[in-house]
Amino acid sequence: LKTLIAVALFAVSCSIDKTVPITQNSIIPAPVSIVEQEGSFTLDGNTKIFSGANASEISMVTEYFKSEMYTLTGLQLGSSDEVGANSIVFELNSALGEEAYTLDINKEKVVLSGGSPAGLFFGVQTFKQLVPAFGDQKMSPGNQYVLPAGKIEDRPEYAYRGMMLDVARHFFPVADVKHLIDLLAMYKINFLHLHLSDDQGWRIEIKSWPLLTTIGGSTQVGGGPGGFYTQEDYKEIVKYAQAKFITIVPEIDMPGHTNSALAAYGVLNPGITVPEEGALRYDRSSLGVDGEATPLYTGTEVGFSTLDTNKPVTSQFVDDVVRELAEMTPGPYIHIGGDESHVTSMEDYIPFIEKAQDIVTKYGKKSMGWDEVAHAKLLPSTVAQYWSKAENAVMAIEQGSKVLISPAVKAYLDMKYDSTTQIGYTWAALIELDDAYNWDPTELDPQIKREHILGVEAPLWAETLRSRSDMEFLTFPRLPAIAEIAWTPKELRSWESFSLRINRHGKMWEAMGLNFYKSPKVNWE
């Protein structure tokens, strides 16, 4: 009889409060610590935001929170200047690390504390994932959402959690980049690296070298019209990303991967009239190794182009490009590329990289480069991006540099999921969702240790991409897997848990109309 009563009571209590305990959440990336508290918090039309003494400093986050809540639930939350029942309190707590936050949800109120506005922003991402809504609600002040009570303490494992988008092989307009930024913010990604130049296209306006974009930006892989960002466009992207606590890392790939620059300013192409004679300060006919004219390139080979590293005009070119880029980039890094310079001799490559690094320093920035740059003498502030060779990463570490971890075999978003994937490459690996999840930056090479690692970045190369929808398909659900590797300490990660949590994200992506890969490794029902 006792058991019967217990079962009956349990059934009654379940029907009253159907909230799943907070420990059974679907938060990605998984937070560092979660403890249950009794009861639940009801978010409704009367819930008020309180941001006390720091109101103006954190208004960017509270305003963002309100607009996100509106999209998610249809509720238009107001503010209050006192903490009453049914409040969400936002506060800064300098005892927490900059990107750390705590989220305390109890019956009466929610308290979100952040080490900085960035920490609060990441806490908002967590809160959003606890609201039982996918954004398809009708706006109604009567809507109610029950959140399980509990306390979350959270902070990122790595300072750099990034994605790279190749806008050179396929040009993505500003709206697509903003859309991607919105998606990255959900997973607490804080750097977006834009691969702004390659053989097939130059995508950023450089006012002192105008033909880079007018000629060099005029096509892309497959021969489409290409495109480029004006400096205003780029600043708009930077600003949009800043509002989501994402730093843009611009890359100009040099001295290889430069055919588009050479098509604009190589051996002078017959038929091209150089405009504005008065504006010309250098001999524009000679960035390349002399000999032949360099046509635009729309194929997908790599490693065939190089700047002539020995010409003074080349140094001037790098100086002008880096200066203009640094002027419109508030973030700390300029990426100088340096990969696959197969037609540059080592004796030319090394001094070129060192020179480029000096120019970046001169304009107040730190350099990033693909792992090959470790052949040069690196400054300790330079970051080497490990994509292919652990020995290069180790050479960088031995010089005192930090490494950014992007192994092609695990982190490349342009690899196919399996042999049937319609777009993408296979040269490094097939990368199923569990492959993208089941690895750790500290386990790639015994000489690459935790303290050498700045963070993790997932690059999306775009040779096989044609649209925003293609970009979404290769990025989701692998990007959340990489985001969890970068945010959540290794001992707290498990594929079994991730594969269950991702289900709810799939539902949300469906509601958003996102084109994601329904990996057979996950039960999406």
Please return the burial class of 312, using the count of CB atoms within 10 Å of its CB with bins 0-12, 13-18 and 19+: exposed
Bridge partners of residue 459, in order along the sequence: 164
In whole angstroms, how close is the CB of 281 to ligand TNX at the nearest point?
31
Active-site residue flag, 340: yes
Cβ closer to ligand TNX: 98 or 340? 340
Quick check: 187 binds ligand TNX (CB under 6 A)?
A: no
Distances 338 to 136, 320, 344, 370 between C-alpha atoms, Å: 46, 18, 10, 6
DSSP H helical ranges for 386-512: 390-398, 408-411, 433-437, 468-475, 478-487, 495-512
Cβ closer to ligand TNX: 126 or 406? 406
Q: Which helix (H) or strand (E) holds 104?
A: strand 101-105
In whole angstroms, how close is the CB of 513 to ligand TNX at the nearest point?
27
Identified binder of ligand TNX from the candidate list 386, 387, 417, 439, rule CB under 6 A = 387
Q: Which helix (H) or strand (E) holds 353?
A: helix 346-362
Residues between 394 and 413 with contacts to ligand TNX, criterion CB under 6 A: 412
Query: Is residue 134 a contact partner of residue 117, using CB atoms and an 8 Å limit?
Result: no
Q: How would you classify the pairing of strands 78-79 and 383-386?
A: unpaired
Cβ closer to ligand TNX: 120 or 462? 462
Q: Read off the tokens for 377.
A: 């003498």
Q: Read off the tokens for 83.
A: 């903490």
Catalytic member of 340, 347, 457, 484: 340
Q: Read off the tokens for 328.
A: 């419109």
Compute φ and ψ for 146, nearest 5 degrees.
-100, 120
CA dist 27 and 422 (Å) reads 30
Distances 392 to 154, 378, 447, 514 between C-alpha atoms, Å: 33, 12, 11, 37
In whole angstroms, how close is the CB of 299 to ligand TNX at the nearest point?
12
Quick check: 302 binds ligand TNX (CB under 6 A)?
A: yes
Cβ closer to ligand TNX: 289 or 415? 415
Residues between 453 and 512 with contacts to ligand TNX, criterion CB under 6 A: 461, 463
In whole angstroms, how close is the CB of 460 to ligand TNX at the nearest point?
9
In whole angstroms, how close is the CB of 198 to ligand TNX at the nearest point?
7
Distance, C-alpha 12 to centroid of its chain: 46
Quick check: 414 binds ligand TNX (CB under 6 A)?
A: yes
Could you give the string, one character per residue 419-438, with x where binding to ligand TNX holds by CB under 6 A and - elsewhere?
Answer: ------x-------------
CA dist 101 and 118 (Å) reads 9
Cβ closer to ligand TNX: 104 or 457? 457
Quick check: 268 binds ligand TNX (CB under 6 A)?
A: no
Q: How many residues bind ligand TNX (CB under 6 A)?
A: 10
In whole angstroms, how close is the CB of 53 to ligand TNX at the nearest point?
47
Residues between 354 and 383 with contacts to ligand TNX, criterion CB under 6 A: 370
CB within 8 A of 339, min separation 6: which ones?
Answer: 253, 256, 257, 369, 370, 371, 372, 387
Cβ closer to ligand TNX: 117 or 226? 226
In whole angstroms, how close is the CB of 216 to ligand TNX at the nearest point?
17
Cβ closer to ligand TNX: 229 or 412? 412
Q: What is the DSSP letter of 293?
A: B
CA dist 406 and 465 (Å) reads 20
Residues between 322 and 351 with contacts to ligand TNX, criterion CB under 6 A: 339-340
Q: Which residues are catalytic?
A: 340
Give the interface with ligand TNX as residue ranges (CB under 6 A): 302, 339-340, 370, 387, 412, 414, 425, 461, 463
